[in-house]
Amino acid sequence: MKVFILEDLEEDQLKKFIEFSNANWDDEQWIIFIDSSGGSVWIAETILNILNKKALEQKNSIVTLHIARAYSCAFSIAFRFKGNINILDSSRGMYHLSSFKDEQFSNNKHSRINEGNYSQMIKDSMLDVYKDTLQFASLFMTLKELQMYKKGKQIFFSSERMKEIAKKLKINLVS
* pLDDT mean by block of 10 residues, the chain; 175 residues: 87 94 90 93 91 84 88 92 86 84 45 53 71 89 95 93 88 67
Listed by start position, the domains of the chain span 2-168
The answer to whether 82 touches 135, Cβ cutoff 8 Å, is no
Q: What residues pair up with 95 in beta bridges, in sequence order?
A: 155
Helices (H) and strands (E) in the chain, counts: 6, 5
Q: What is the pLDDT of residue 62?
A: 83
pLDDT of residue 24: 92
Q: How many CA atoms within 13 Å lie on the side-chain side of 67?
A: 32
Superfamily of domain covering 2-168: 2-enoyl-CoA Hydratase; Chain A, domain 1 (3.90.226.10)
Tell how far CA 121 is from the center of its chain.
Answer: 23
d(CA 5, CA 158): 21
Note the helical H segments in the chain: 11-24, 41-57, 73-80, 115-138, 143-150, 159-168
- Residues 127, 145: Cα–Cα separation, whole Å: 21
Residue type, 22: N
Q: What's the confidence (pLDDT) of residue 13? A: 93
Hey, what amino acid is at 11?
E
pLDDT score for 170 = 82
pTM for the model stands at 0.80
pLDDT for residue 39: 92
